[in-house]
Amino acid sequence: MKYYDTEPPQIKEEEQELCLSQEAELLVLKQEADNFMVTRSNNVENSLTSESHCNTDAAEKPYVCNTCGKIFSYSAALTVHMKTHRGEMPYACEICGKGFYETFLLKYHERIHTGEKPFSCEICGKGFRSNDGLTVHMRSHTDEKPFLCNTCGKRFTVSSAFKRHVAIHTGEKPYSCITCGKSFTQNSYQMKNHYRVHTGEKPYDCEICGKSFSRSRSLLHHMRTHSGEKRYSCETCGKSFRLSSNLLCHRRTHTGEKRYSCEMCGKSFRQRGHLLCHMRTHTGEKRYSCTACGKSFSQSGNLLLHMRTHTGEKPYSCETCGRSFSRSDNLTSFTFQYCLWCFLRKFNVL
């Protein structure tokens, strides 16, 4: 019997969509930078009232970055932006040495080391390093989704998720990896994480077990395995999850929604990862290979089961008779078909 033919295993947490609180953290630097540029530019404009750099002129004659083409309404905003191209990082963190091109960015970064979270949610008490992070978080309570896709009508809570979604319709991926040529819809965040695939860099370490991760949100997900925290609960059945994306997928078991359809055979799935695994049955792709015998598999779960034929590992044991199995479904079959004691205990006869 081919394992997981009908419903492949759930995709890894690192491959899941970003949950709301993590999106807030990703938006903070950009939002604060925008706020800072506007504030500082207004101060500059007020001090130059005798010159021609007033708000009206700035709107009519925007300032354009000659490097990337980005347009600004104020010269001060363009000046700050140009530092990102020149690589100017005059403000350094005394703890880790990381540099920043403005002092307010350094101040925000230092809170990572100190753990300071001065902005708290009045509803659930969760703390944030910036007011913008709190603002985005509040939408999880109000269910506000201000970003609307004009193509399909889908709404989003944060602009970054909205921009990634729009790229699905346009197919635009303007940023490419110089090593392997893989393309991305976003430059800074996606490219930075992707480069670590080539370099093997894993800068985020778990203080409890020492395990390292290439992305900060992967470490965040991992830490919940130690704390046992499951903050996301299903309103229908009460089941709790560590990730909001897991809760989102779980809700579809109640609604029956299967939004991801195979273009070749029409079969539908609740998760995009399940669809990707299914597509390999059509393409014949087998990307997971056994290091012991070279046999290849289309799914990582099947490779894991196969490896147990080499290692002899049998992690599933009958609590009554002690017999062990390499697969959970084999243990279930044994319980009902062969082990009478297990069968009677299952139905509380004993």
Provide the mean pLDDT of the chain.
Answer: 76
Does residue 26 sit in the same domain as residue 162? yes
Are 160 and 24 within one domain? yes
- Domain assignment of residue 69, yes or no: yes
Q: How far apart are CA 107 and CA 123, in angstroms?
A: 26
Mean pLDDT of 224-248: 87
The CATH code of the domain that includes 311 is 3.30.160.60
In a domain, 34, yes or no: yes
Amino acid sitting at position 50: S
Instruction: Tell me, yes or no, whether 184 lies in a domain.
Output: no
- If we measure between CA atoms, which residue out of 98, 93, 66 comes closest to residue 82? 66
26 shares its domain with 163: yes
Q: Do 24 and 166 lie in a common domain?
A: yes
Note the pLDDT tens digit of each residue in 12-21: 333 333 344 4
| Higher-scoring residue by pLDDT: 248, 15 | 248
- Domain termination site, one of 142, 170, 198: 170
Helix pair angle (103-114, 20-47), 10° resolution: 150
Q: Is residue 342 part of a domain?
A: yes
Domain boundary among 170, 203, 228: 170
| pLDDT, tens digit, 9 for 90 and up, residues 124-172 | 899 988 888 898 889 888 888 999 999 888 898 888 788 878 888 887 7
Count the domains in the chain: 2
Which pLDDT band, with edges at 50, 70 and 90, does 259 fall under? confident
Q: Find the domain containing 166 and state its range.
A: 20-170
Whole-angstrom Cα distance, residue 147 to residue 89? 33
This prediction has a pTM of: 0.40
Assigned domain for 217 exists: no
3-state helix, strand, coil in the chain (%, to 5): 45, 10, 40
Q: Bigger pLDDT: 236 or 71?
A: 236
What is the distance between the alpha carbons of residues 219 and 203, in angstroms, rounded to a whole number?
10
Q: How far apart are CA 62 and CA 74, in angstroms?
A: 7
181, part of any domain: no
Residue 61 lies in a domain: yes
Strand runs labelled E in the chain: 63-64, 71-72, 91-92, 99-100, 119-120, 127-128, 147-148, 155-156, 175-176, 183-184, 204-205, 212-213, 232-233, 240-241, 260-261, 268-269, 288-289, 296-297, 316-317, 324-325
Domain boundary among 140, 170, 200: 170
Clarify whether residues 24 and 150 are in a common domain: yes
Contact 344, 318 (CB under 8 A): no
117 in any annotated domain: yes
